[in-house]
Homo-oligomer: A and B are copies of this chain.
Amino acid sequence: MKSNRDINKIRKSRPSEIGPLITALNFFHPLSEEMIRYFEQKLVLIKCTKQTLLLQSGDICKYIYFIKKGLVRGFIKEGGKDITTWITADNELVTSIHSLDLEVPALENMQAIEDCEFLALSSRHLKQLYIQYPDFNITARKLLQHYYRDAERRALLIRHANAVFKYHFFLENYSHLSNRVPIKYISSFLGIAFETLSRVRKKMATSAK
């Protein structure tokens, strides 16, 4: 498996490249002009290929990533197997919240499952941002409220009674991922064997005719 040495391109971002992130953040709480300048100065653009590990469990997470383009999953190692705990795509933020803030080793891994482009902010600059522009604590609070809800939705997904209900819930809540993510990651995310998911898909296809 590729390690984070494969984060093969990293450079300062250009102001013209950060629009989608600013839009996403503004949606939660308006950013001041000064904050936008700060992002323009501190954000870096990172490109990586499919399979690259952005974060490895045991390491300390150094960045919060905004996915400009691509697909990323989180997973943990449990009894020799991967368990995919989330999958997320373009225009979303990803990081290990706990590791980033407390500078402790992360439990989870993060991996690109498509070639990706990120805007990344280091934990150092994020912390400086909280101090220099206290209003950003409001933005972060609202972001966390939003992502807390996402975490609850994922927990609900795997609590569904059987494979069919889980996949239905997946289609209702993550339809944008269903034709983009390999079945092995979806099945792991749903907590079922990939063979089972294959059978569920077949059953749904034939019964819907």
Query: Which residue numbers of A lie inside 8 Å of B, CB to CB?
Result: 76, 78-79, 83, 85, 97-98, 101, 130, 134-135, 137-138, 140-142, 144-145, 147-149, 151-152, 154-156, 158-161, 191
Q: How far is the CA of A138 from the CA of B134 in the complex (A)?
A: 8
Q: How far is the CA of A148 from the CA of B134 in the complex (A)?
A: 21
Rounded to whole Å, the gap between the CB of A100 and the closest CB of chain B is 9
Closest to A157 in B: B155
Copies of this protein in the complex: 2
A interface majority secondary structure: helix
Which single member of B141, B152, B161 contacts A144 (CB below 8 Å)?
A: B141
Are A159 and B158 interface neighbours, CB within 8 A?
yes
Which single member of B134, B145, B159, B161 contacts A97 (CB below 8 Å)?
A: B145
Are A191 and B158 interface neighbours, CB within 8 A?
yes
Closest to A100 in B: B145
A97-B148, A147-B148 given as contacts; is B159 within 8 A of A85 (CB)?
yes
